[in-house]
Amino acid sequence: MEEQLLNAWCEILSWNWSGIVQSITGLGTLIVAFIALTSWRRQHRSQAVTKLLDELTDSVHEFVQSISPAVQMLSFVRIGIESQEFNRDLNRELQHPLAVAYIEKEGRESADRLMTLLKNAEQPVHRIRSLLVKGQVLGISNYRECQNACNMIAWQFDRLQVVFSMLSNQHMNWEHPKVAENLGSMMDITPEDITRHINESQKNLLAFLKDIYAQEYKSV
């Protein structure tokens, strides 16, 4: 473009009208081509952004649906733990005697059932995390909001894996401080808390998507 401008300026200085017209025509063609290329690039990027966010939205929806049975299973586990209040062999000297009694009695069976349900959510959660990485190269505005919301949703899968891990270990040293700490962390994971995190994160993701779609379609 610099060469075209230089030629046009030289023609103007020499007052060569024929050359001036040719230079202006060539410069106009170059400008039109540049605008067309810029528009194409913008459209191509918008399509890439839209495709990725559509796939991410579908994966989040699939994950939420697939994790629901595991969350319900956690509800049954919590009821089972609370029911140990009437266990005659309860060791009340432990920090979490009800949970220990349940794990020793039904932990292995509950862990196996929980893991079977969690397997249904493995693919969606892996897809969410993969798409989040791909989205980093697209330069999406306020992308951190999307990452935070999706990572919070995916984190609920990790939390349920923690529950599985604790339930499957029936013969730990329950008096050990670290074991007691891990057991306490498991007890902090409740179906209500998981559901709350998922619902809040979905709302945040939806707000982000509305803003981005509006920006992308406006720029096309």
For residues 119 and 210, membership in a common domain is answered with yes
Q: For residue 183, tell me if it sits in a domain.
A: yes
For residues 91 and 7, membership in a common domain is answered with no
Q: For residue 105, tell me if it sits in a domain.
A: yes
Q: For residue 57, tell me if it sits in a domain.
A: yes
Q: For residue 106, tell me if it sits in a domain.
A: yes
For residues 24 and 64, membership in a common domain is answered with no
Q: For residue 46, tell me if it sits in a domain.
A: no
Render pLDDT for 108-133 as a digit per residue (tens, 0 to 9): 999 999 999 999 999 999 999 999 99
Model pLDDT, residue 144 = 95
For residues 71 and 169, membership in a common domain is answered with yes
For residues 10 and 98, membership in a common domain is answered with no
For residues 142 and 189, membership in a common domain is answered with yes
Q: For residue 30, tell me if it sits in a domain.
A: yes
Q: For residue 47, tell me if it sits in a domain.
A: no
For residues 91 and 10, membership in a common domain is answered with no
DSSP string, the chain: -HHHHHHHHHHHHHT-HHHHHHHHHHHHHHHHHHHHHHHHHHHHHHHHHHHHHHHHHHHHHHHHHHHHHHHHHHHHHHHHHHGGGG-TT--TTSSSHHHHHHHHHHHHHHHHHHHHHHHHHHHHHHHHHHHHHHHGGGT-TTHHHHHHHHHHHHHHHHHHHHHHHHHT-TT--TTSHHHHHHHHHHHT--HHHHHHHHHHHHHHHHHHHHHHHHHHHHH-
Render pLDDT for 138-161 as a digit per residue (tens, 0 to 9): 888 899 999 999 999 999 999 999
Rounded Cα–Cα distance for residues 190 and 95 (Å)? 18
- Amino acid present at 135: G
Of 88 and 215, more confident: 88
Render pLDDT for 29-49 as a digit per residue (tens, 0 to 9): 544 443 443 443 555 567 888
For residues 105 and 148, membership in a common domain is answered with yes
Mean residue pLDDT of the chain comes to 85
Q: For residue 42, tell me if it sits in a domain.
A: no
- Domain span at residue 22 reads 2-37
